[in-house]
Amino acid sequence: DTGVSQDPRHKITKRGQNVTFRCDPISEHNRLYWYRQTLGQGPEFLTYFQNEAQLEKSRLLSDRFSAERPKGSFSTLEIQRTEQGDSAMYLCASNPGLGQSGENIQYFGAGTRLSVL
């Protein structure tokens, strides 16, 4: 257990439905990242937060995707009007951030596996 928790672990939904995932990072970590991983591929960056500020969004993050980190602690990733191509593992990671002590290691959660039928 890395200390990063994600909920739910699995989500099955019908095409067109909205889904929301939650990530609780390690409590003292300022940075929080979302990645998407499809079968047989490495994770692909989606977006990241420095505290509550969303600093970067990948072009992979279409307008159907939105992420928030309202209080600089937990984060949510919402997908609206899901499509079959959204089926993937969604991973969250956190690290202490720039200027913090310790190696710049990103600690990953176990992921939320989304299946869109």
Partner 1 sequence: KNQVEQSPQSLIILEGKNCTLQCNYTVSPFSNLRWYKQDTGRGPVSLTIMTFSENTKSNGRYTATLDADTKQSSLHITASQLSDSASYICVVDELRTDKLIFGTGTRLQVFP
Chain residues that interact with partner 1, rule: CB under 8 A: 2, 4, 40-45, 56, 91, 93, 98, 103-111, 113
Query: Distance (Å, rounded) from C-alpha 33 to C-alpha 93?
Result: 5
Query: Distance (Å, rounded) from C-alpha 9 to C-alpha 3?
Result: 15
Least CB distance to partner 1 at residue 108 (A): 3
Residue 20 vs 45, nearer CB to partner 1: 45
Cα 95 to Cα 4, 25, 31, 47, 113: the distances in Å are: 10, 8, 5, 14, 22
Residue 74 vs 107, nearer CB to partner 1: 107
Least CB distance to partner 1 at residue 7 (A): 13
Cis before residue 8, ω within 30 degrees of 0? yes
Residue 43 vs 96, nearer CB to partner 1: 43
Return the ∠ at Cα 110 (arms to 108 and 115), rounded to 5°: 125
Least CB distance to partner 1 at residue 12 (A): 15
Least CB distance to partner 1 at residue 107 (A): 7
